[in-house]
């Protein structure tokens, strides 16, 4: 298959690029390098530097080859920032995705694999969360992802675009084969912050609240290895091509770990000090967010292989420690 990977120089996108190439697919990466790195893109992929808000650049990228599928990773993802600057998030995430879809229609590309998020659900009414759980985002970032999912449904109905909306829980870890060595830039996620603290690049990890209704009072999340996400993307692409049906699925492990558990295990693995400070809860955080990925398992025959916590943390430490 021949695919264009929008945002393919970033953290998750680059892992998908390597897996696609590994399986013999043809790959073009389109990225503005705002948070991604050129070094994440292997020589065997074509690279086009461009922005999804630039419709002309996007059109010409689509016209550079006959693509079977689009993988769309390009977005702003810090939920906290989205509450401060919703206009920026609306433009980058929603308008950018409209451009991606319109260029597909214009150039006859029929399949899109879209990076959605657990943030579409909002506060969990039950755990583990399945795809039937109500979608009621509590931050603007989650709202943008849900709006894009709605756009995908309309483009499917009106323009015969087939889509896979993959709702990731917490992406973590690095390529077990060590092919990706660039650190995530300005990342607000827990594990990169834990790693940066172990490296001495930060003084401490801020733990937002220890009075949640969880075993140790800190927030519990479901961490999925980025290579497992990559495998799911390729299975989703094949599903769209073969079944010609749309797909919306969770991607997680079904197991939750608390912030303090993560810090303790990271200390063991890195053999470094990881100071932390308990501070106030953040608005919009919930006690526990855990996925059930039964549908991905049944429909895509997908199962996490690398998502044990030790594997996640060891693969991260290898990259950060270098
Ligand atoms: N990391 C997670 O835990 C997580 C969880 C759920 C969903 N997601 C979603 O997955 C996707 C990828 O996340 P990531 O962690 O790899 O982030 P990332 O920031 O590492 O990757 C995003 C990539 O898109 C590029 N990009 C951003 N804006 C662009 C634009 N306007 N035009 C062209 N390229 C642009 C960036 O340079 C970067 O290479 C995002 O859509 C994010 O919302 C991530």
Between 101 and 188, name the one with better pLDDT: 101
Q: What are 69-92's pLDDT values in tens digits?
A: 999 999 999 998 999 999 999 999
Q: Which protein residue has the closest C-alpha to ligand 1 atom 4?
A: 171
Helical packing angle, 11-22 and 226-243, nearest 10°:
60
pLDDT > 90? residue 322:
no
Q: Which protein residue has the closest C-alpha to ligand 1 atom 19?
A: 35
Mutate to test the pocket of ligand 1, among 4, 37, 77 (most ligand atoms within 8 A of CB): 77
Ligand 1 center to 186 CA (angstroms): 12
Helix (H) or strand (E) holding 305: none
Ligand 1 center to 13 CA (angstroms): 7
Percent of the chain at pLDDT above 70? 100
Residues 165, 163: Cα–Cα separation, whole Å: 6
pLDDT at 61: 97
Quick one: DSSP state of residue 291? B
122: left (phi over 0), alpha (psi -120 to 50) or beta: left
Least Cα distance to 110 among 61, 151, 159, 65 occurs for 159
Ligand 1 center to 74 CA (angstroms): 4
pLDDT > 90? residue 240:
yes
Q: Is 168 in the pocket of ligand 1 (CB under 6 A)?
A: yes
Alpha-helical segments (H) within the chain: 11-22, 55-62, 79-84, 86-89, 96-107, 140-159, 190-198, 226-243, 259-270, 294-300, 309-321
Mutate to test the pocket of ligand 1, among 12, 103, 114, 166 (most ligand atoms within 8 A of CB): 12
Compute the residue count for the chain.
322
Q: What are 20-49's pLDDT values in tens digits?
A: 999 999 999 999 999 999 999 999 999 999
Mean pLDDT of the chain: 96
DSSP states of 145-186 as a string?
HHHHHHHHHHHHHHH--EEEEEEE-EEE---TT----PPPSS
Q: Is 187 in the pocket of ligand 1 (CB under 6 A)?
A: no
pLDDT at 293: 96
Could you tell me the two tokens for 119? Answer: 């943030």
Mutate to test the pocket of ligand 1, among 4, 35, 94, 230 (most ligand atoms within 8 A of CB): 35
Q: Tokens 């995705």 correspond to what residue?
A: 97
Identify the CATH assignment for 190-221+254-321 out of 3.90.25.10, 3.40.50.300, 3.50.50.60, 3.60.15.10: 3.90.25.10
Out of 56-65, 119-128, 183-192, 259-268, least confident range: 183-192
**Can you tell me which atom of ligand 1 is nearest the CA of 74?**
24
Ligand 1 center to 213 CA (angstroms): 31
Q: What are 262-289's pLDDT values in tens digits?
A: 999 999 999 999 999 999 998 878 899 9
Residues 27, 25: Cα–Cα separation, whole Å: 6
Active site residue 141: yes
Q: Which protein residue has the closest C-alpha to ligand 1 atom 32?
A: 51
Question: Could you say which of 141, 212, 223, 306 is catalytic?
Answer: 141
Residue 204's pLDDT band (cuts 50, 70, 90)? very high
Q: Is 233 in the pocket of ligand 1 (CB under 6 A)?
A: no
φ, ψ of residue 135 to 5 degrees: the values are -100, 115
**Can you tell me which atom of ligand 1 is nearest the CA of 77?**
43
| Superfamily covering domain 2-172+224-251 | NAD(P)-binding Rossmann-like Domain (3.40.50.720)
Domain boundaries, the chain: 2-172+224-251, 190-221+254-321
Helix (H) or strand (E) holding 6: strand 2-6
């Amino acid at each position: 298959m021949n695919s264009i990977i929008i945002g393919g120089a970033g953290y998750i996108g680059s892992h998908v690029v390597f897996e696609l190439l590994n399986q013999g697919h043809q790959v073009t990466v389109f990225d503005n390098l705002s948070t991604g790195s050129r070094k994440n893109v292997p020589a065997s992929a074509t690279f086009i530097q461009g922005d999804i808000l630039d419709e002309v650049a996007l059109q010409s990228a689509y016209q550079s080859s006959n693509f079977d599928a689009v993988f769309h990773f390009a977005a702003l993802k810090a939920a906290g920032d989205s509450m401060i600057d919703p206009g920026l998030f609306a433009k980058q995430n929603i308008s950018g995705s409209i451009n991606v879809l319109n260029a597909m229609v214009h150039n006859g590309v029929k399949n899109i694999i879209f990076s959605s998020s657990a943030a579409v659900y909002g506060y969990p009414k039950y755990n583990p969360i399945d795809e039937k759980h109500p979608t009621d985002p509590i931050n603007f970032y989650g709202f943008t992802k849900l709006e894009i999912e709605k756009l995908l449904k309309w483009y499917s109905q009106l323009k015969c675009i087939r889509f896979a909306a993959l709702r990731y829980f917490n992406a973590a870890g690095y390529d077990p084969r060590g092919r990706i060595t660039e650190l995530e830039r300005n990342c607000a996620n827990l594990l990169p912050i834990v790693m940066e603290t172990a490296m001495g690049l930060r003084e401490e990890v801020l733990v937002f609240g220890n009075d949640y209704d969880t075993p140790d009072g800190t927030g519990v999340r479901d961490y999925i290895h980025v290579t497992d996400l990559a495998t799911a993307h390729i299975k989703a692409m094949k599903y769209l091509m073969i079944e010609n049906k749309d797909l919306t699925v969770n991607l997680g492990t079904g197991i939750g770990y608390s912030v303090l558990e993560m810090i303790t295990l990271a200390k063991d693995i890195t053999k470094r000090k990881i100071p932390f400070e308990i501070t106030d809860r953040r608005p919009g955080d919930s006690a526990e967010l855990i996925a059930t990925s039964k549908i991905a398992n049944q429909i895509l025959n997908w199962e996490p292989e690398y998502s044990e916590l030790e594997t996640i943390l060891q693969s991260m430490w290898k990259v950060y420690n270098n």
